Amino acid sequence: MTDETILRELEPEAERLLNRHLDSAEEWYPHEQVPWDRAARLASDGFTFGEEPLPQGVRSALLVNLLTEDNLPWYTRTISRMFGGDSAWGAWAQRWTAEEGRHAIVMRDYITVSGLVDPKTLEDGRMAQVSSAIVPEPDSPVDGMCYVAMQELATRISHRNTGTMLNDPVGYNVMMKLSTDENRHHLFYRDLVSKLIELNPSAAIEALKRQVTSFSMPGIGIPGFVEHAKAIAHVGIYDFAIHHEKIIMPLVFRQWAIDKVEGLSSAAEEARDSMFKYIERVGKVARRQVERREASMAAAAAIL
């Protein structure tokens, strides 16, 4: 079955999910979420940034989350390439782009007036990130649906966890706005993949195997991304264990129930077995990571 045929068969579901999304979407305005009064204090302090008492992992999460949102033009290019056109697919891509654009606006304003990250660092990172145009490029629309279903959930979790660690009610509310939007985006793709599994289970399973085993967040073009990712993992905002327990396991085994799908081709059966073995390995690594973190926290508490 060609990509065009799959998209045509899925278009009624895409239209239904788009309409559901529009009916449930919350309209909000970035300028109403930003604590503008903090700008006066920042000016009186001589515009010093990064001096607020904040764990480095949280500061890294704010930077990575914002710069990831800044790369929107290239995500839109990729999504339009896979799903665009004068159809429900194109309407979804355009609405998604409009909503994601708000995220960068409100994050940058909040971070700047709160003095959390030097805006020069943010701008240098934005220029490097957008100039490189490095984004995930799934090979097909089917792969794209599977990837984004996981990625939007991961982004929702990252935003929410960052908000809870800010120790700032205003920042928490900002990140919850973003997290709620990302959850609606996730639900669109999650349910689209559910329909794909119903219509073409073999194509869905093979794509899921590719995306589960090669998944990476869309921020690898950010300067210092590896170091930031380590800091983010260290404070527990997003790490291997969260990826396994909050994304892979719920989606693959509960939401999509991949282990119960029948009528697969031999290639899809092989792909499913391979994916399950990979998930088992990830689970073992995730458990070791949790054990090490708990031991480290216990040791730190003992010193105190």
Task: Identify the band that residue 301 occupies on the pLDDT scale cut at 50, 70 and 90.
Answer: low
Cα-based torsion angle of the residue sequence 289, 292, 298, 304 in order, rounded to the nearest 10 degrees:
-100
Q: How far apart are CA 106 and CA 177, in angstroms?
A: 10
pLDDT at res. 45: 82
> Is 297 within the bounds of a domain?
no
Task: Identify the band that residue 218 occupies on the pLDDT scale cut at 50, 70 and 90.
Answer: confident
> What's the Cα-to-Cα distance from 118 to each of 63, 97, 113, 235, rounded to whole Å?
10, 26, 10, 21
Residue pLDDT, tens place only, 70-92? 999 999 988 888 887 788 999 99
pLDDT at res. 304: 57
> Is 259 within the bounds of a domain?
no
pLDDT at res. 302: 66
> Is 272 within the bounds of a domain?
no
pLDDT at res. 150: 97
Least confident of 56-60, 67-71, 183-187, 214-218: 214-218
Average pLDDT over residues 220-233: 91
Contact 196, 142 (CB under 8 A): yes
- Does residue 126 surpass a pLDDT of 80? yes
Name the burial class of residue 29, with classes exposed (0-12), middle (13-18) and buried (19+) by CB atoms within 10 angstroms of its CB. exposed
> Is 294 within the bounds of a domain?
no
> What CATH number is given to the structural domain containing 17?
1.10.620.20
- Does residue 100 surpass a pLDDT of 70? yes
Nearest to 105 by CA among 14, 37, 174, 168: 174
Max CA separation in the chain (angstroms): 68
pLDDT at res. 114: 95
- Does residue 292 surpass a pLDDT of 80? no
Number of domains in the chain: 1
Which has the higher per-residue pLDDT, 82 or 99?
99
Contact 149, 193 (CB under 8 A): yes
> Is 266 within the bounds of a domain?
no
* Average pLDDT value over all residues in the chain: 92
pLDDT at res. 4: 86
> Is 208 within the bounds of a domain?
no
Nearest to 150 by CA among 218, 87, 197, 99: 218
- Does residue 228 surpass a pLDDT of 90? yes
Average pLDDT over residues 178-204: 97
pLDDT at res. 46: 84
Percent of the chain scoring above 70 in pLDDT: 96
pLDDT at res. 13: 97
Residue pLDDT, tens place only, 5-48? 999 999 999 999 999 999 999 899 999 999 999 998 888 888 88
> Is 256 within the bounds of a domain?
no
Length of the chain: 304
> Is 99 within the bounds of a domain?
yes
Task: Identify the band that residue 247 occupies on the pLDDT scale cut at 50, 70 and 90.
Answer: very high
pLDDT at res. 22: 97
Range of the domain at 108: 3-194+216-236
